[in-house]
Copies of this chain bind each other. A is one copy, B any other.
Amino acid sequence: MSRALRTRDRILEGAIDLAAQLGLEGLSLGHLAERLGLSKSGLYAHFGSKEDLQIQVLGAAAERFVDEVVRPALEEPRGAPRVAALCERWLAWASTGRSGGCVFVAAGTELDDRSGPVRDALEATQRAWLETLARACRIAQEEGHYEQGVDPRQFAFELQGILFSFHHQARLLRDPEAANRARRAFGDLDARARGGASSREPSC
């Protein structure tokens, strides 16, 4: 990897964390240069504009998300175990250990009223994630784990809701029970998709 590429990657790593804390709009080149101890003109060499930086940050965050959430889940057996792994990996991704929480959740409420290429890039990542959840549900149906009558997009909607509620209660309310509540809600969703009575045991 060339030195320029390494520097760019290092900048993007710092920028993802900053964006998760301050929002994508808080991601000024000046602020980032100060945080990373680089010159503003040095940053301009890598990113022509704030908008370019924001879009590249979303792309880098999406790569990190695939590495930390999607790819490890794909190593699990097809079907229900893979759905559970997506849930569990997401909880780790957004856990309180990570400064700023999930950059996509933060950016979602920040950009939902705007228009333009940054919003479009964010929207694309969120559609891809919901489709990943729906596809995992479909595979669980193919494997005979989940009932045929389950609507994969409704399943994705409800699973996403559990993850959002976890993010809110763990981060804003600092509720130590948030992960347990999320696992219990997921266990219930999973049990219903299997066609069984609601389980009250955590299974995610």
A80 vs chain B, min Cβ distance (A): 18
Task: Collect the chain B residues with CB atoms within 8 Å of residue A105's CB.
Answer: 109
Residues of B within 8 A of A162 (CB): 158, 161
Main SS class of interface, A: helix
| Residues of chain B lying within 8 A (CB to CB) of residue A99 | 113
Task: Render A116-145 as a binary contact track against B, CB cut-off 8 A, 1 for contact.
Answer: 000000110011001000000000000000
Q: How many copies does the complex hold?
A: 2
Any chain B CB within 8 A of the CB of A62? Answer: no
* A21: chain B residues within 8 A (beta carbon): 113
Report the Cα distance A195→B201, complex, angstroms: 17
Q: Is A13 an interface residue (CB 8 A)?
A: no
Type the 1/0 row for A153-189, where 1 means its CB is closer than 8 Å to any CB of B.
Answer: 1100110111111011101110001100110110010
When distances are taken between beta carbons in the complex, the residues of chain B under 8 Å from A109 are 101, 105-106, 108-110, 167
**A197 nearest in chain B by CB position:** B197
Q: How far is the CB of A105 from chain B (nearest CB, A)?
A: 5
> How distant is the Cα of A26 from the Cα of B23 in the complex, in angstroms?
11
Q: Which of B130, B153, B168, B177 contacts A126 (CB 8 A)?
A: B168
* Contact call A157/B181, Cβ cutoff below 8 A: yes
The reply to whether A165 and B173 contact each other, CB–CB distance below 8 Å, is no
Query: How near does chain B come to A202, taking the closest CB pair, in angstroms?
Result: 11
B185 touches A158 (CB 8 A): yes
Whether the pair B185, A127 counts as a contact (CB closer than 8 A) is no
Q: Which residue of B lies closest to A109 (CB)?
A: B106
8 cross-chain CB contacts under 8 A: A20-B113, A23-B23, A108-B172, A123-B173, A126-B168, A153-B181, A154-B181, A154-B184
